[in-house]
Structure 1
């Protein structure tokens, strides 16, 4: 197995990738009616509303007609979290197939840990956001923002780690 020829992508990884993209498209479509002047990124704006006042402003901009879209987005995000974490874990394993070196394996463990941390933070964020819908508080708003920050940071660092793993050795140890 040379560096240029990883084995064909396994069927389960393709299915996971397709499922991740399909759920992401659904989340984006659900988010469209939630884009307002107070929430230019829809639910993502709510994720980063660090105070109760900001959260209330965003929720008021959505009105009562859009409240079901907020709940639908947050509830659909829960299976999405499971699917994207499993997909990223499987992708990490696949990209490590021809990287048997100790450093690459250690990096792979760190990358997997980052993806698990992203998923756990995402769950915490969703719990805070769902709890904060009825009566927003500064504490829940700030916690949701911190969880979102941890999630996005872990996803970016994990993705960078995958790039490092692939670039770590120009030639595979397999000949």
Structure 2
């Protein structure tokens, strides 16, 4: 099945995953709003990147009891988001390499998929660490969570950049399938 421009239509599984990803991302953005404080300018992201117990404690205290509940909700919703965004990115990688039969493109696609899986695993580890750091933050857990968050963000950034490079490599759109 192709679109009116001659390109193959998006598979239903990719469409469904894209919609679910966007909806869960929107939910996480909304949940994050009450978590933005003077100590946490970026809300939960500030907490993810807090590299010390002192910094994490200042953020948790700035949230108060209501904010703490929102933080827990954010982390639990993120557990739902992780497999959805990983599957979406893997399906998107498959889609972007449909007309890329070369060895380099296939090898690059495998590395990109691996990066997305690493990002998901780092995100899971980060969430577990952050949930355990809410009551009494420690330096060890704060640093481990920050390293996990940085691993996740780095893997996602490099993976998405890889997708752009794969698509731009031959400078032509997806051919009709």
TM-score tier by shorter-chain length is: over 0.9
| Corresponding residue for residue 111 of structure 2 | 110
| Corresponding residue for residue 68 of structure 2 | 67
Tell me how far 1:72 sits from its aligned partner: 0.3
TM-score, with length taken from structure 1: 0.94
CA distance in 1, matches of 2:11, 2:113: 19
Q: Deviations over 1:11-39 (max 9, x none)?
A: 11111000000000000111100100000
Matches within 5 A, 1:134-145: 134-145=135-146
| Corresponding residue for residue 8 of structure 2 | 7
Tell me how far 1:134 sits from its aligned partner: 1.1
Matches within 5 A, 1:10-159: 10-159=11-160
CA distance in 2, matches of 1:49, 1:17: 30
CA distance in 1, matches of 2:49, 2:172: 43
Query: Where does structure 2 lack aligned partners over 5 or more consecutive residues?
Result: none
Q: What RMSD, in angstroms, separates the aligned Cα atoms of the two structures? A: 1.8
Q: Secondary structure at the match of 1:64?
A: helix
Say if 1:85 and 1:119, in contact at 8 Å, map to a contact too. yes
Query: Where does structure 1 lack aligned partners over 5 or more consecutive residues?
Result: none
Tell me how far 1:5 sits from its aligned partner: 4.9
CA distance in 2, matches of 1:147, 1:171: 36
Runs of 4+ residues over 6 Å off in structure 1: none
TM-score, with length taken from structure 2: 0.93
CA distance in 2, matches of 1:148, 1:67: 19
Q: Secondary structure at the match of 1:148?
A: helix
Aligned length: 173
